[in-house]
């Protein structure tokens, strides 16, 4: 009697052959620069002067990795200068003439 001995690797049978893990890193840098300047001029009958100046800086930095990790850094700088000048001029004249 002859016995055939078959030596089969357990890893190959189970489909667990050693594989190298692949790591993929994707870096996305988005820099958004937005400047907003608003100059409002308002005149009223009571001679009101109003100046409004708004300067807004917004920086957004986003890092995205393939393993669903998202890091968002937002820096917002807002500078608001408001000058209000109000001048009110009121003149009242009353004349009464009485004849006797």
2-50 tens-digit pLDDT:
655 555 555 555 555 555 566 666 666 566 556 566 555 554 455 556 6
Question: Could you tell me if 58 and 32 are in contact, meaning their C-beta atoms sit under 8 angstroms apart?
Answer: yes
Local structure of residue 20 (DSSP, 8 states): P
Predicted TM-score (pTM) of the model is 0.18
pLDDT at 40: 58
Sheet holding 31-43, edge to edge: 31-43, 48-65, 69-86
- Cα separations (Å) of 50 from 7, 12, 47, 65? 92, 82, 10, 49
Q: How far is CA 8 from CA 3, 12, 18, 20, in A?
A: 16, 7, 15, 22
């Amino acid at each position: 009697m002859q016995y055939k001995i078959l030596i089969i690797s357990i890893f190959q049978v189970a489909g667990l052959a050693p594989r190298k893990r692949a790591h993929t890193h994707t870096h996305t840098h988005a820099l958004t620069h937005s400047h907003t300047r608003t100059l409002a001029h308002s005149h009223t009958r009571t001679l009101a002067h109003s100046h409004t100046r708004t300067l807004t800086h917004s920086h957004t930095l986003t890092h995205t990795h393939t393993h669903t990790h998202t890091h968002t850094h937002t820096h917002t700088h807002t500078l608001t200068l408001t000058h209000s000048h109000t001048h009110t001029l009121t003149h009242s004249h009353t004349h009464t003439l009485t004849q006797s």
